[in-house]
Amino acid sequence: MEQGLGAAPGWATRSNETLMIEFVLQGFSELPRLRLPLFCCFFSLYTVALMGNAVIIAVGSHSASLQSPMYFFLCNLAAMDIVCTSSVLPKALVGLAFEENTISFPGCMAQLFFLTWSASSELLLLTAMAYDRYVAICRPLHYSSRMSPRLCRSLAVGVWALCALNGSLHAGLMTRLSFCGPNVIAHFFCEIPPLLLLSCSPTLVNSIMTVLADAFYGVLNFLLTLVSYGCIVASILRMRSAAGRRRAFSTCSSHLLVVSVYYSAVFCAYISPASSYSPERSKVSAVLYTMLSPTLNPIVYSLRNTEIKHALGRLVQFYFESM
């Protein structure tokens, strides 16, 4: 696309129509003194997130002792963590390394798709994992039938497909909008609320679909997770054995911690109208669910799970023995 004469950077003219060809990601430009510390911090988080989640996938896929529904969903969660953090952090690091960080319109839409896909998938996977713990603790005699390998695979495929459709829908609706004003996104990645604020065309359909997605992926799944853990806690408190209660709580504590961190960040970022959008609040919450949560998930699950630690030890031993 050729840029028209006199057109501002990031714009092009064609047939007397001004078209957006790129956005400028504001990132953390308002904090110039913190750019180097933030770069080092984000790079470290990205490295740990990639390595940690890759290890979870490797251990869960190759260890015979981890072939259960809980670890199957954990591997899917780790894969989505990699997609989530990889769709955001590389571009954020570029913005911290250089003064101006631009992203093409197609690149912005691609980033929006992968982020929406991975974020919504994680919410559904966390709900599936909560249901798995509910069946294991509250309905142990029905566990093998309710959480069969075929059902788990079908759930995982359904989650990936449904959330890919969700990401395609939001990205497709965004491409219908016209952007004829400022092209500076008040964020370090392409997100729905700041993009809607930049549009000069009606955004009612986008806002309605965003609210519906928030209600389904955020509120409904949070309530389902809450109900699952309410039943789990009630069942644990009815146990007569103190050792049994401790063992049951230990199997849920890691997942409950991950759920608390992730939902807190998502609710802060998305469960609010676009008119009340706060760039500062959104950036902080986005750091939590795009960087901190994918980094903490493998650490929390591995440190608090003896089966994963033992499987990791066997995998490392096998690696060194085969060298």
CA-angle at 269, arms to 200 and 173, nearest 5°:
40
Confidence of residue 277 (pLDDT cuts 50, 70, 90): low
Greater confidence (263 vs 117) lies with 117
Dist. CA 133–CA 204, nearest whole Å: 39
CA distances from 319 to 75, 110, 245, 312, 323 (A): 20, 37, 37, 10, 7
Q: What is the pLDDT of residues 159-197, one digit of tens each?
A: 999 999 999 999 999 999 888 878 899 889 998 988 998
DSSP code, position 207: H
| pLDDT for the residue numbered 14 | 43
pLDDT above 70 (res 29): yes
Note the pLDDT tens digit of each residue in 40-97: 999 999 999 999 999 889 888 877 777 888 889 999 999 999 999 999 999 999 988 8
Question: What does the DSSP assignment read for 164-202?
Answer: HHHHHHHHHHHHTS---S--EESSSS--HHHHHHH-SS-
Give the residue carrying structure tokens 């949070």.
222
pLDDT greater at residue 114 or residue 323: 114
What does the mean pLDDT of the chain come to? Answer: 83
Q: Which domains does the chain have, with CATH numbers?
A: 22-322 (1.20.1070.10)
Q: What is the pLDDT of residue 270?
A: 63
- Distances in Å between the alpha carbon of 301 and those of 23, 165, 250, 255, 306? 38, 29, 11, 8, 9
CA quadruple 283, 289, 294, 297: dihedral, nearest 10 = 140
Does pLDDT of 110 surpass 80? yes
Three-state DSSP class for residue 240: coil
DSSP bridge pairs for 185: 25
Sequence-distant (6+) residues with CB within 8 A of 176 are 201
**pLDDT the model gives residue 319:** 61
What span, in angstroms and rounded, lies between the C-alpha atoms of 96 and 40? 10
| pLDDT of amino acid 86 | 95
Which residue carries 């050729």 as its tokens? 2
d(CA 23, CA 234): 51
Question: DSSP per residue over 259-298, as a string?
Answer: HHHHHHHHHHHHSS-GGG--HHHHHHHHHIIIIIHHHHHH
pLDDT score at 17: 43
Rounded CA gap, 187 and 286, in Å? Answer: 9
Which residues does residue 25 pair with via DSSP β-bridges, in sequence order? 185
Contact between residue 185 and residue 194 where contact means Cβ atoms under 8 Å apart = yes
Residue 146, both tokens: 């309710």
